[in-house]
Amino acid sequence: MTYLDRRSPPHLSTLVLVSGMAALSLNIFLPSLPGMARHFGVDYALMQLSVSAYLAVSAGFQFVIGPVSDRFGRRPVLISMLALFVAATIGTLLASNAHVFLAFRLLQACVTTAFVLSRAAVRDMVPGPQAASMIGYVTMGMSLVPMIGPVIGGIFDQWFGWQANFLMLLVCGLAVLALVWADMGETATGSGLGFADQLRAYPTLLRSQRFWGYCLSAAFASGLFFAYLGGAPFVGTRVFGLSSAQVGLYFALPAVGYGLGNFLSGRFAAHLGMDRMVLIGTSVSTSALVAALLAELTGASHPLIFFGAVGVTGLGNGLSLPSATAGLMSVRPELAGTASGLGATLMIGGGAALSALSGALLHPGSGALPLILVMLASSAASVAAILWVRARQARLGL
């Protein structure tokens, strides 16, 4: 594809790498958080804002980016966000103190709009059930990034220091920007609506029980993972006494589960249906966290048990999230970007709150129990949300 061929749809591999770039920015540096706090001479809680506040800012970006991409197209918006991400990454490398670093780190959150734009592009190209299947394959490939990202990040931190992780983000950001420029053809038909007209379309989504059910189920399923991101570095290093490299290795377990769940979603979502896939996935995640809680309460706590249980929640999320995402975008297909952005805002915004909560609850002597309880509560709520959708479908005889 050439630069001038702007109407050809992107290759599946491009959408995978675009989403993977967003995932890499979120997790590659997690094993470095304790060391970064020492480097800048600040408390861990302040440095943990690079996760929780990052998620909050990304929620704001995603709220705006959906309608913007419906109005102007996926291609120009994505190129702009990637260029801004590259500039912000340079800023993190040049930061002289923790506050300057955090300012540029929060600006890096613009790259998370890739989640919204890549999934909206899928929904542009194929209808609902097929979209759930294709999103599953996209996120299956994307899951390789969080699988290896913390591993590489932990090794880089141990050998070269935390700055090496952000240098890698800069190189990868430039490469993905070049790829999108060359291959990301426009997929949106273009609603042609002004922003005021698009805002008037929001009540249609907000009055829909289907939208809220899918959205809340996805938000709470994602929330357990964001809570994990906020607390797992502390649990790994302070509770289990692991090195940054070991924490990075354990961080691969949820990504392995997520990749397997995405593969199964790609294979079976179109056959089983979106509602059933979401219910199966959320139930798997909740069951795994109940097992982790019982192990913690009986004194059987161990890194393999804790991280292994979270690995199973990754499997559950891989089963549920593609279908939940396709479901919330199917309420108004012509506003797929708007729906995707609003859903992502709720998912990431809720995730930011849970990430901050888990970080605040953990302290020396607390063990992993506070983090497990926060994750379990979020996962149980995701089951309740999809049961709400299924109850409505049953009342309507669907």
In a domain, 47, yes or no: yes
Q: How many distinct structural domains can be found in the chain? A: 1
Cα–Cα nearest to 388, from 172, 175, 149, 214: 214
Q: What is the mean pLDDT of residues 185-196?
A: 64
Spatial separation of the C-alpha atoms in residues 326 and 130, rounded to whole Å = 9
Task: List the structure tokens of 166.
Answer: 């952000």
Domain that holds residue 272: 12-189+196-395
Q: Which of 64-68, 83-87, 120-124, 327-331 has the highest mean pLDDT?
A: 83-87
Does the pLDDT value for residue 160 go beyond 90?
no
In a domain, 3, yes or no: no
In a domain, 6, yes or no: no
Looking up residue 248, the CATH number of its domain turns out to be 1.20.1250.20
In a domain, 372, yes or no: yes
Left if phi > 0, otherwise alpha if psi is -120 to 50, otherwise beta: which for 365? left
In a domain, 280, yes or no: yes
247-263: string of b/e by CB count within 10 Å (b at 16+)? bbbbbbbbbbbbbbbbb
- pLDDT of res. 189: 64
Write the CB contacts of 12 (distance below 8 Å, at least 6 apart in sequence): 134, 137, 138, 141
In a domain, 20, yes or no: yes
Mean pLDDT of the chain: 82
Write the CB contacts of 72 (distance below 8 Å, at least 6 apart in sequence): none
* Burial class (CB within 10 angstroms; exposed 0-12, middle 13-18, buried 19+) of 242: buried
* Percent of the chain topping pLDDT 70: 86
Is 50 in contact with 359 (CB distance < 8 Å)? no
Spatial separation of the C-alpha atoms in residues 371 and 317, rounded to whole Å = 18
Is 296 in contact with 368 (CB distance < 8 Å)? yes
In a domain, 281, yes or no: yes
pTM, two decimal places: 0.70
Is 101 in contact with 166 (CB distance < 8 Å)? no
- pLDDT of res. 382: 95
| Residue range 361-371, pLDDT digits in tens | 887 777 889 99
Hey, is 127 helix, strand or coil?
A: coil
Helix (H) or strand (E) holding 290: helix 274-297
* Confidence tier at 336 by pLDDT (50, 70, 90): low
Question: Rounded to the nearest 5°, which phi and psi values hold at 243?
Answer: -80, 170
In a domain, 5, yes or no: no
Task: List the structure tokens of 390.
Answer: 């299924």
Spatial separation of the C-alpha atoms in residues 344 and 397, rounded to whole Å = 29
Spatial separation of the C-alpha atoms in residues 381 and 391, rounded to whole Å = 15
Hey, is 313 helix, strand or coil?
A: helix
Dihedral of CA atoms 249, 255, 256, 257 in degrees, nearest 10, equals 130
Q: DSSP assignment of 351-384, as one string?
A: HHHHHHHHHHH--TT-TTHHHHHHHHHHHHHHHH
* Burial class (CB within 10 angstroms; exposed 0-12, middle 13-18, buried 19+) of 354: buried
Q: What is the mean pLDDT of residues 270-287?
A: 91
- pLDDT of res. 1: 38
- pLDDT of res. 139: 65
Among the residue ranges 14-28, 194-208, 374-388, the one predicted with the least confidence is: 194-208
Hey, is 277 helix, strand or coil?
A: helix
